[in-house]
Amino acid sequence: MDSVIIIGGGLGGLECGYILAKNGFKVTVLEHDMQIGGCLQTFKRGTALFDTGFHYVGGLSEGQSLHTLFRYFDLLDLPWQQLDTDCFDEVIIGNRSFPFANGYDHFVERLSEYFPHERESLKTYVAFLKKVGDHLFDSFLPRDTTEFYSESLFAHSACQFLNETIHDPLLRKVLSGTSLKMELNADTLPLYIFAQINNSFIQSAWRLRGGGSQITDKLADSIRSLGGEVRVKTTVTKMVENSGKITQVEVNGSEMLTADWVISSVHPAHTLALVDESKFLRRIYRNRITGLKNTFGMFTANIRLKPEMMPYFNRNLFVHTSDADLWHIDTQRVESVLVSCSVPENEVKCTSNIDLLTPMYWDEVARWYGTPVGHRGEDYVAFKADKTEQCIRLVEKQLPNLREAIDRIFTSTPLSYQHYTLTTEGSAYGIRKDYNNPMGTVLTPRTPISNLLLTGQNLNLHGILGVSMTSFFTCAEILGMETIVKQLNLKK
């Protein structure tokens, strides 16, 4: 029986484990933390259950992109809650509000109520997004790698596309208003990422009652039922390369494990650091990977609410100041906040907690790097308190009773993500992809070491959909893409 060691028990690692276990591999997943899940971890504070990084997904209705993948992973029977199809996202700019509706025609009609002069441009916009979405699984078909990087939408500017398609500056801002699902960087963001992510949410939008950890918990249970092993508190401390292959994986500084294949779902730079000097990992390659820039992280205020104080709203709010530049974010002051609440249990009409998220660059917290969790000093506490207050001030204009409904607030920064999930610089979306250099920033699963593969959000696409797609790309390096296409029942 072929065997595989998977480093990292987040979504990408567990999905790879599931695919390979389903294909007869002996799977061992190694997670350094006390619990699996990565950014899908949940945590409890009193009776309130909070998600670490998961808030909602797109494209989960039958026949849509994520539905195809989650059907394979047997994740469709979880307690999914579809968001309001008439307004799954509400974009608020200053004192004006704009609805995002599900369905391409419906999306156009709702926004055309506010921008009647842009109806035809909106039709062009959604037609392009739909075309990208309809061809999502074309990436599983054979292609010339060089041509793919030079000709694909990874090599085109998202910002330029938006500017050329939409004439009204306010509408461009509105369409950029759900930007906290990606890093809107005018100088780098590839069109493919912008189009694919926005398309999936226009298809349909869903929350998960009971937290995102249900996804990774079920994957882990499935791996175990297929004979695999999922270990926590197991830190990979070294990989031993011999003749171009990883022959041993050292865990916790002492135990040595062996396998035919090794898949790493942690940051590529961290992965390479686990391998001692090797002629197969040349310095120029190491320097290129470690030199890649990362997307910004998030500051999160997880707010536990007093009982029966905040009615549940079946949509997300994206609140922006009137002067926010969404394509050149200044994180020194809070200009944009994503507001999401948890789905109530047992037919209760009020939510128990609410999350406020705003972008945060690593530079803002780098001075506290290396300090222990919970003991970073009064200045760090004050820094987080100030960010929290800025978020609340911006959001309470939309939720007037928010402040009085607060029971307790728990905060996290990119330092928290870096510590608990080994996410380099606490990056929210992994390595920054650059349309000016797609070949250098959009990574493949292969490494110069023949049996060492990569997976996860750092390769090509981030988010639930992107990581799920990437897990199949990684496993195709072992099983062959023909097997993947057949098992997903994709039409060539």
pLDDT for 492: 53
Q: Last residue of a domain, which of 425, 457, 475?
A: 425
Whether residue 133 lies inside any domain: the answer is yes
Shared domain check, 301 and 180: yes
pLDDT surpassing 60 at residue 340: yes
pLDDT for 15: 98
Mean per-residue pLDDT, 383-395: 96
Shared domain check, 192 and 92: yes
Mean per-residue pLDDT, 457-470: 92
| Tens-place pLDDT, residues 25-54 | 999 999 999 999 888 888 888 878 888 888
Q: Are 193 and 461 in contact (CB under 8 A)?
A: yes
Shared domain check, 349 and 279: no
Whether residue 61 lies inside any domain: the answer is no
pLDDT for 312: 95
147-156, 249-258, 336-345, 472-481: least confident range: 147-156
Structure tokens at 45: 């504070």
| Tens-place pLDDT, residues 188-246 | 999 999 999 999 999 999 999 999 999 999 999 999 999 999 999 999 999 999 999 99
**Would you place residue 9 in the very low, low, confident or very high pLDDT band (cuts 50, 70, 90)?**
very high
Pick the closest to residue 165 from 116, 113, 128 (CA basis). Answer: 128
Q: Which helix (H) or strand (E) holds 133?
A: helix 119-134
Percentage of the chain modeled with pLDDT above 70: 98
Shared domain check, 302 and 279: no
Structure tokens at 233: 């508190």
Shared domain check, 317 and 392: yes
Strand duo 336-341 + 353-360: pairing: antiparallel
Angle between helices 104-112 and 119-134 in degrees, nearest 10: 160
Structure tokens at 95: 């004192």
Whether residue 140 lies inside any domain: the answer is yes
pLDDT for 334: 94
Whether residue 55 lies inside any domain: the answer is no
For residue 443, CA distances in Å to 137, 157, 158, 199 come to: 18, 18, 19, 23
Tokens 């109530």 -> residue: 344
Q: Which long-range CB contacts under 8 A does 137-142 form with residues at least 24 apart?
A: 137/65, 137/68, 137/488, 137/490, 139/469, 139/473, 140/472, 140/476, 140/481, 140/484, 140/485, 140/488, 140/490, 141/481, 141/485, 141/492, 142/481
Whether residue 33 lies inside any domain: the answer is yes
Structural domain of residue 21, as residue ranges?
Answer: 3-37+212-291+443-487
Q: Where are the alpha helices (DSSP H) in 241-282?
A: 268-273
CA–CA separation, 402 vs 415, rounded Å?
27
Shared domain check, 216 and 278: yes
Strand duo 26-30 + 48-51: pairing: unpaired
pTM: 0.94
Mean per-residue pLDDT, 145-155: 62
pLDDT for 40: 86
Shared domain check, 175 and 141: yes
Pick the closest to residue 298 from 186, 420, 427 (CA basis). Answer: 427
Structure tokens at 35: 């619990």
As for how many domains the chain has, the answer is 2
Structure tokens at 343: 């789905």
CA–CA separation, 259 vs 237, rounded Å?
16
Which residues are registered as beta bridge partners of 245? 242
Between 168 and 422, whose confidence is greater? Answer: 168
Shared domain check, 284 and 306: no
Whether residue 48 lies inside any domain: the answer is no
Q: Which helix (H) or strand (E) holds 175?
A: helix 169-175
pLDDT for 47: 78
CA–CA separation, 254 vs 450, rounded Å?
25
pLDDT surpassing 50 at residue 149: no
pLDDT for 152: 82
pLDDT surpassing 90 at residue 330: no
Shared domain check, 299 and 204: yes
pLDDT surpassing 50 at residue 148: no
Largest CA distance in the chain: 67
Whether residue 75 lies inside any domain: the answer is no
Compute the chain's Rg from CA coordinates: 22
For residue 396, CA distances in Å to 93, 95, 319, 339, 393 come to: 14, 12, 10, 11, 6
| Tens-place pLDDT, residues 267-286 | 999 999 999 878 888 889 99
Question: If you average pLDDT over every residue of the chain, what do you get?
Answer: 92
Shared domain check, 87 and 181: yes
Shared domain check, 244 and 193: no
pLDDT surpassing 60 at residue 150: no
pLDDT for 143: 61
CATH code of the domain containing 255: 3.50.50.60
pLDDT surpassing 50 at residue 413: yes
Mean per-residue pLDDT, 301-314: 95
Q: Are 238 and 276 in contact (CB under 8 A)?
A: yes
CA–CA separation, 402 vs 342, rounded Å?
15
Q: Is the dihedral of CA 220, 223, 224, 228 positive or negative?
A: negative
Tokens 């009193």 -> residue: 46
Pick the closest to residue 115 from 83, 131, 93 (CA basis). Answer: 93
Q: What angle do CA 470, 219, 53 make, to 5 degrees?
A: 65
Angle between helices 463-479 and 65-72 in degrees, nearest 10: 50
Mean per-residue pLDDT, 112-134: 96
Pick the closest to residue 48 from 407, 411, 317 (CA basis). Answer: 407
Which residues are registered as beta bridge partners of 248? 240
What 8-state DSSP symbol labels residue 433?
P
Pick the closest to residue 209 from 63, 83, 308 (CA basis). Answer: 83
CA–CA separation, 286 vs 280, rounded Å?
10
Q: Are 263 and 455 in contact (CB under 8 A)?
A: yes
